[in-house]
């Protein structure tokens, strides 16, 4: 199959989706792998393309909250307030849904489903024109770093999907926050951190928002994507390193004759650049740049030739957006830290 780059030619992309094809679309977080969420055979193609276990639930992308309401069994009392404040945006909401309102392949067999309204003008227009809810897991091979550009999608999935809607570089770079609203009698709980932080939610809601720290084993069915113990991993082994330990780690692995790659801020790279084979510097010292560059940096260093033996990635403080960055990094590194 030839994979077409739809340069915002949405009529062709819409037609492909209506015919049950798989089309990648841009969002502000990462690129998604779109298919009609109401078409079981189309959704199964998404799992086949990604090589993803079919017990893993998918996020359903919509163009407004009215599109979600027919699926919801019991609406959480805070749902409207959250939607009004944070949609469109990098926030996925989990609701208890009406039995058989979505195919089991979308929900992973659970009684809940996840919904998001992405903050990207091209994809919002795609959703409006299609008038279909679209599943949209990250458009990459399952378990590998998520794609933040159409080039990343093409690299992973050329010949496997019908097309890619071009939408430029993803601005956030890590997947959406997932917030569990499935039990209207319980406070909201973050299942996956993202750019909408605990602090932001609490400021809007005026109450404590919980965070689920549970790491899902391979044998378990996660309630939301990205909850597995290991995820987002390139082929090259990854290890976390605290900024204070970076120089020591570089010297240690240098003595062991490792071909080493390092991902860090510009000032941190300046300290060690003469002692490693290759580096990937974030745009600046801020965690926003680290989050935006994490997946693209992992991909770039993973493709070095000859192959690297190890990629060292600096840690950030585990708060605010740093919580989302560290969540992805810990899984990419299979929890290993120097």
Architecture (CATH level 2) of domain 238-332: 3-Layer(aba) Sandwich (3.40)
**pTM reported for the whole predicted model:** 0.93
What SS3 state is found at 149? coil
**CA dist., res. 88 & res. 199, Å (int):** 18
Let me know the angle formed at the C-alpha of 115 by 332 and 71, rounded to the nearest 5 degrees.
Answer: 145
Alpha carbons 161 and 158: distance in angstroms, whole number: 7
146 annotated ligand binder = yes
**192 annotated to a ligand binding site:** yes
29 annotated ligand-binding residue: yes
Determine if residue 52 is labeled as part of a ligand binding site: yes
Compute mean pLDDT per 10 residues along the chain, 338 residues long, and list them.
Answer: 84 97 98 98 95 84 97 96 98 97 95 97 97 96 91 95 96 97 96 96 96 68 63 91 98 95 98 92 98 98 95 97 96 95
Q: Which fold has domain 4-211?
A: DHBP synthase (3.90.870)
| 299 annotated as a binding-site residue | no
Was 116 annotated as part of a binding site? yes
What residues does 260 pair with on adjacent strands? 310
- Per-residue model confidence (pLDDT) at position 217: 60
d(CA 338, CA 244): 11
Q: Where are the domains of the chain?
A: 4-211, 238-332
For residue 213, count CB atoms less than 10 angstroms from its CB and return exposed for 0-12, middle for 13-18, buried for 19 or more: exposed
138 is in an annotated binding site: yes
Tell whether residue 176 is among the known ligand binding residues.
yes
- 56 marked as binding residue: yes
* Number of Cβ atoms within 10 Å of the Cβ of 216: 18
Dihedral sign (CA 60, 54, 144, 152): negative
């Amino acid at each position: 199959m030839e994979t077409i780059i739809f340069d915002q030619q949405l009529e062709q992309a819409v037609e492909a989706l209506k015919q049950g094809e798989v089309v990648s679309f841009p969002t502000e977080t990462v690129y998604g792998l779109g298919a009609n969420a109401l078409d079981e055979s189309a959704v199964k193609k998404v799992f086949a393309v990604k090589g993803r276990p079919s017990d893993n639930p998918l996020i359903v992308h919509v163009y407004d909250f009215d599109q979600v309401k027919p699926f919801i069994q019991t609406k959480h009392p805070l749902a409207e307030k959250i939607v009004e404040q944070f949609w469109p945006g990098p926030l996925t909401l989990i609701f208890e849904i009406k039995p058989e309102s979505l195919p089991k392949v979308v929900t992973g067999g659970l009684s809940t489903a996840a919904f998001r309204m992405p903050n990207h003008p091209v994809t919002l227009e795609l959703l409006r024109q299609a008038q279909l809810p679209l599943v949209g897991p990250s458009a990459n091979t399952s378990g590998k770093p998520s794609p933040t550009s159409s080039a990343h999608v093409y690299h992973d999935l050329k010949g496997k999907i019908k097309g890619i809607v071009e939408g430029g570089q993803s601005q956030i770079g890590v997947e959406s926050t997932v917030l569990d609203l499935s039990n209207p009698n319980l406070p909201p709980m973050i299942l996956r951190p993202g750019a909408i932080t605990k602090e932001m939610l609490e400021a809007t809601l005026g109450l404590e928002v919980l965070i689920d720290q549970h790491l899902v084993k391979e044998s378990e069915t996660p309630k939301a994507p990205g909850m597995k113990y290991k995820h987002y991993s390139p082929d090259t082994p990854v290890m976390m390193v605290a900024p204070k330990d970076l120089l020591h780690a570089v010297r240690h692995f240098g003595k062991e004759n490792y071909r080493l790659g390092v991902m860090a801020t510009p000032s941190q790279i300046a300290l060690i650049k003469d002692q490693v084979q290759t580096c990937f510097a974030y745009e600046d010292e801020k965690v926003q740049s680290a989050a935006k560059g994490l997946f693209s940096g992992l991909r770039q260093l993973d493709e070095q030739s000859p192959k690297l033996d190890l990629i060292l990635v600096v840690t950030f403080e585990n708060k605010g957006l740093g919580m989302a960055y560290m969540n992805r990094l810990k899984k990419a590194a299979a929890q290993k830290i120097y």
